Amino acid sequence: MIMKTFATSFFSHFGAKALPSETDILVVLPPDLEQVFGKPRLYLTFANEDPAQPRELSPNEDLLVYGSRTFDRMLALLEGRGATTHLQLPIRQPTELDLRLPFANAKATLVEDDYQQSVEPFYVFHFRATYIWAEKEEVFITITLDGAGAQHPHRSELLGRGKVFGAPDESEARKIDAALLRQQFERAQKIAQAQVAERADALEEIIKTRLRQILARLKRFYGRLMAEITSDNPARNEAARADLEADLQRKQADELERHRLRIQLAPVGYAVMLVPFIEHRLSLSCGQQTSRLTLRRDLHTGWVETFSCQPEIESITDLAFSSFKDRFRAQGRFAELCAENALLCREDALHSVLAVAGTKVEAPDAPEQVCRDAQRYIWRRVEAARWVIYLGQRRGSKALSPVLGRLLVMLDQEGNVIKRRKVGAVSRLLGRVFKR
């Protein structure tokens, strides 16, 4: 399917008429491509899902798969082109951020103090890592960085999927700083190198196991051959042993060389992606308590950026805040602060988070990692089911242990289900959860 998408985009781009059917594509080539492909029309067919199934080709069909001649010719046409570009992501959301998010408690009020629209560059770099030993493996690495150098892996998924974005207008393009671009490239290259090193370590472990056996076998084999030299002529024996020793050395050296891991890391291309953002400064008040909250929303995807420590959760589109009265007594924390808290307080937050998620953690060995895992677990669920997150802080609840009571994180499948519950009901519910 990916190949078919590529073929359609490719031939359309080069001025051919691509007429896709359910399985194939008929391509009517323009004169310049006719010369390249040697015929006026291509009947492109694609690989079977099951590689073991034989493919019967009719005389005119051109199989378009990795390594096929047609594919190679297409690649040749792209040689030296399309490596770098500037992209402008269009605004797809309404410019006014709709903040009427589902509230759990009508007593809380949310006021938008201010907002500001901006365009921010993201730097997407592509590398190809090739690992060669007795085998060969290639990995396509994409590193996406923001202006500050933080990674945003989700962003690159928008690219190279057959969806073409426009180029930025000149004024925006001029703002792209070449020095910063180079700086970010170097940073991305270092990150890619680290990824390559990680993979190389894993591969070398595999290689080492295999090589160890080979070298042991050779050593044993030649050792025995030498032991079997038993003629009466010591000079001849010595010469034969020397020959075998030399042969062994050569073979060992060959094997070592054959199992040396060679890695090539080559930059393939980059795109500077200009992304429209809107930043809202909000006030959330409940009774006497007021908290300030800043929300950034990507105007192309609609993603809300809330947790600076967790760029992976950009795809959250809805947030809700509980306004239970006592949540805000001790300067209640909101989303991003909460996440920070989770990193800072570690165990407490983690225990509560994981307990709610139904997993008990005794003592995390690497709190930060567990924290990330826990959050990712929750956020993933949030992302998948559009759950509503309730954040708040509670002290002295009898239903909760003191540790857990410090930070309350509760999830539910549907916001409206929780919405109908009273504080007590929620506490009882949580109490049941934690007691279990």
Partner 1 sequence: MTNDQLEWLPLSVPPQPKETQSEFFCPHCNKAAPVNADTCPHCGRPLILAAGLTEEALPEIALLERQLDIAPPPEDWFSGRGLDTPAMYDLRLQAERLYVTGGFERLICLDDINIDHYQYQLEAAQRALRDMGGRALLADEVGLGKTIEAGIVMKELIERGLAQTVLIIVPASLTWQWQEEMAAKFYEDFLVLEKLSQLSAPNSLPPKACRWIISYSRARSSAWAERLLAFEYDLLIVDEAHKLKNHRSKSYRFVDQIRKRYVLMLSATPVHNNLLELYNLITILRPGHLGTRRAFARDFIATPTALVKRRAYRRTIYSRPSVHAYLRKNRQARQEYRQKGDEAFRIVARTESLDEFLAVFLPKADAQPKAAIEEIRSLMPEGYDVVEFEGVEWRSWYRRRIDFVCRLRLRPKAKRPEPSRPDPRRRLRPQNPALVRALLREVMIRNRRSSVGVRFPPREAAIYHLTLSPPERKLYNDVTAYIREELRNVQQLPSGKRPAGGVLQLRLMTLQKQLASSPQAAVQGLEKLTAGQNDDRLNDYLALARSIEQGRKVKAVQTILEQYPHKTLIFTDYLASMRALNATLTASGFETTLFHGGLSAYERIEAVREFRNSAQVMISLRSGGEGHNLQFCRQMINFDLPWNPMIIEQRIGRIHRLGQKRKVRIFNLSVANTIEAYILELLANKIRMFELVIGELDLILGELAGQRSFESYLQEAWVGSQSEAELLQKIVELEKIITGARATYTQIRSTSDELSDILGGAES
Q: Is 215 in the site for partner 1 (CB under 8 A)?
A: yes
Least distance from partner 1 to the Cβ atom of residue 252, Å: 10
Return left, alpha or beta for 181; rule: phi > 0 is left, psi -120 to 50 is alpha, else beta. alpha
Contact at 8 Å (CB) between 187 and 145? yes
* b/e sequence 99-110, b meaning 16+ C-beta within 10 Å: eeeebbbeebeb
* Cα diameter, the chain: 106
Least distance from partner 1 to the Cβ atom of residue 27, Å: 15
Q: Is 246 in the site for partner 1 (CB under 8 A)?
A: no
Of the candidate residues 92, 208, 380, 395, the single one contacting partner 1 (CB under 8 A): 208
Nearest to 284 by CA among 39, 82, 44, 103: 103
Termini Cα distance of the chain: 47
DSSP string of 405-433?
Answer: HHSEEEEES-HHHHHT--HHHHHHHHHHH
Q: Is 165 in the site for partner 1 (CB under 8 A)?
A: yes
Least distance from partner 1 to the Cβ atom of residue 305, Å: 24
Least distance from partner 1 to the Cβ atom of residue 314, Å: 21
Of 216-245, binders to partner 1 (CB under 8 A) are: 216-222, 224-225, 228, 230-233
Number of residues forming the site for partner 1 (CB under 8 A):
102
Span of 27-35, 73-81, 103-111, 428-436 interacting with partner 1 by CB under 8 A? 73-81
For 254, the token pair is 């060959």
Query: What span, in angstroms and rounded, lies between the C-alpha atoms of 235 and 238?
Result: 5
Least distance from partner 1 to the Cβ atom of residue 23, Å: 14
Of the candidate residues 21, 22, 163, 170, the single one contacting partner 1 (CB under 8 A): 163
Span of 111-119, 125-133, 326-334, 393-401 interacting with partner 1 by CB under 8 A? 125-133
Query: What span, in angstroms and rounded, lies between the C-alpha atoms of 274 and 88?
Result: 5
Q: What are phi and psi of 147, to 5 degrees?
A: -60, -25
Of the candidate residues 21, 22, 49, 66, the single one contacting partner 1 (CB under 8 A): 66
Q: Is 422 in the site for partner 1 (CB under 8 A)?
A: no
Cβ nearer to partner 1, comparing 215 with 337: 215
